[in-house]
Amino acid sequence: MLQLQTAGYKALDHIRARGEYPPKWSHIDEVEQITDCFMEQFLAERLEVSKELGPGFLIAEMIDRVIRTDEIEHMDDETITGSERLESVRALDRMNRMTLSYAHQIDLLMPIIEEISHHRKEVGILELAAGSGGLALTLAEKAKEKNFDLRITASDIVPDMISEGNRLAAELNLPVNFRQLNAFSLEGIEPGSADLVLMSQSLHHFTPGQLALMIAQAKRHGASAFIGIDGYRSLLLTGGVPLVASLQGIGTFTLDGLTSARKFWSEIELDIIAGIATGRNNHQVSCSWPLTVLHIHLNESVRTD
């Protein structure tokens, strides 16, 4: 229900017919504001379309608006210590392993990495907002098993995450480099060093404009592809995510699960964000239940289908 595809795509068609999509930007500093403003315009247009389509569509729109929130999660709260935020990330890591989510994500990523490897002797992967690196470490294990030559960098803005990630990489003897990084600028990342820029289970932590900025920066730094993986926006997961999170027995983590599910982006919203960030329609958004996968082709010379 929360995908609202009929009303959403009709609203986008209306905006496109007026020549207002995708909005143009000439400097990367404009991307964030332009994307956020356009998303407000899109949601307002979708509301009007829902009214025109009838009560069933309007009820779905109202439910989506009631559920949607801009509350920050406990793990994003900058007023608490880095160690407390790390505990939330550790709980997420345990949940991902328990639900086999990491294995699912690796199955989604490996065909893309294999395609890039046909054009590169060594594939450079940069994970943004990686936390303590549960996915990056699992990917490194899989690469070792398949004898893939990967250069994996996992990044986060919180120093405690970096320390924990490097500790785990050393303990597991896995070649993952953890570094503190501002994902909005990628300052310090050598252009062309990352073939694949990856963001997993963190898309909903950012505004549309921030996501578009990160995608634009990935393109600017010469990546072949950007992959975003997050929860599928649905009523089922709005109840299901906090239920599974509650098995950790941590109240704040359970609440984070509810907040996350309320903030998941719909497929059309990710479609719009990618279109504005790249100025092209060279991406796919798909569901691999219970995940939404955004796959953007940033470099035409290296297709990653």
All structural domains of the chain, each given as residue ranges with its CATH number in brackets, are 5-67 (no CATH), 74-297 (3.40.50.150)
Q: What is the edge-to-edge ordering of all strands in the sheet holding 196-200?
A: 176-180, 150-156, 123-128, 196-200, 225-231, 291-297, 283-288
pLDDT tens for residues 220-259? 999 999 999 999 999 999 999 999 999 999 999 999 999 9
What pLDDT was estimated at residue 119? 83
Average pLDDT over all residues of the chain: 95
**pLDDT of 304 higher than 60:** no
CA quadruple 230, 234, 238, 244: dihedral sign: negative
* 14-23, 110-119, 181-190, 295-304: least confidently modelled range: 295-304
* Distance from the Cα of residue 40 to its chain's centroid: 20
Claim: this prediction has a pTM higher than 0.85: yes
What pLDDT was estimated at residue 121? 83
Euclidean distance between CA atoms 128 and 155, whole angstroms: 5
Please compute, for residue 238, the number of CA atoms within 13 A of its CA located in the half-sphere on the CB side.
16
Distances in Å between the Cα of 93 and the Cα atoms of 68, 102, 120, 130, 303 are: 25, 9, 31, 11, 31
Longest alpha-carbon distance in the chain? 59
Query: Where does 173-249 have alpha helices with state H?
Result: 208-220, 235-245
pLDDT tens for residues 158-178? 999 999 999 999 999 999 999
What pLDDT was estimated at residue 299? 79
Residue with tokens 């989510």: 101
DSSP sequence for 47-92: HHHHHHH-HHHHHHHHHHHHH---PPPGGG-TTS-HHHHHHHHHHH
What pLDDT was estimated at residue 1? 77
pLDDT tens for residues 17-33? 999 999 999 999 999 99
| CA nearest to 130, candidates 119, 118, 120, 138 | 138
**pLDDT of 303 higher than 70:** no
**pLDDT of 271 higher than 80:** yes
Name the more confident of 119 and 31: 31
**pLDDT of 301 higher than 70:** no
Mean pLDDT score, 206-216: 98
DSSP 1: -
What pLDDT was estimated at residue 128? 98
CA quadruple 216, 31, 199, 128: dihedral sign: positive
**Helices first, then strands: H and E counts in the chain:** 11, 7
pLDDT tens for residues 52-76? 999 999 999 999 999 999 999 999 9
